[in-house]
């Protein structure tokens, strides 16, 4: 007999502290056939409640992760949330991890090219790296780029 994999279920415990707890669901989700001006007024009232909510960011993050299509979540209506979710998706996984990470920011880093430890500000940003900084310091990166351009120039001149 095959065992089924356990399905990850979202944690909804935060809803117990939400400002909207006990509020009328129609305020947050509206009704079918709602006119635009009615929807805007309803969403304004709902976002006012969200504005004083202690779990607003958790609510919005959950809506992004579940791709909630209807209603007001985390203080954003359907259209604005859809737009912000696209931007949220475009962010790299490193940036999302950095938002939630409780690690100390990098203050100094060792450059393998010049074998020196330098302040983090001396390293270009690189989202692909785990610490968000390029492997080499700016002077070493610039020197390497100059060497590459010089080789490319020599190859062009050799061909011509």
Binding residues: 20, 50, 53, 59
Q: Is 11 exposed, middle or buried (CB count within 10 Å of its CB: 0-12, 13-18, 19+)?
A: exposed
Q: Is 60 exposed, middle or buried (CB count within 10 Å of its CB: 0-12, 13-18, 19+)?
A: buried
85 in Cβ contact with 73 (< 8 Å): no
C-alpha dist (Å) from residue 86 to 58, 67, 83, 158: 18, 10, 5, 48
106 in Cβ contact with 140 (< 8 Å): no
In the annotated binding site for [4Fe-4S] cluster, the residues are 20, 50, 53, 59
E strand or H helix at 116: strand 116-119
DSSP structural state of residue 13: G
Closest CA to 91 of 61, 69, 51, 59: 61
């Amino acid at each position: 007999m095959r065992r089924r994999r356990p399905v990850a279920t979202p944690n909804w415990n935060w809803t117990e502290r939400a400002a909207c707890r006990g509020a009328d669901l129609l305020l947050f989700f509206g009704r079918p056939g709602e006119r635009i001006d009615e929807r805007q007024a309803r969403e304004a009232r709902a976002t006012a409640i969200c504005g004083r909510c202690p779990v607003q960011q958790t609510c919005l993050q959950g809506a992004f992760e579940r791709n909630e299509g209807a209603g007001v979540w985390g203080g954003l209506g359907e259209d604005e949330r859809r737009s912000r979710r696209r931007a949220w998706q475009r962010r790299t996984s490193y940036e999302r991890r950095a938002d939630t990470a409780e690690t100390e920011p990098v203050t100094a880093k060792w450059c393998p090219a010049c074998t020196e430890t330098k302040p983090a500000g001396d390293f270009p940003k690189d989202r692909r790296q785990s610490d968000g900084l390029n492997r080499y310091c700016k002077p070493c990166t610039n020197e390497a780029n100059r060497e590459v351009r010089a080789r490319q120039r020599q190859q062009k001149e050799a061909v011509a």
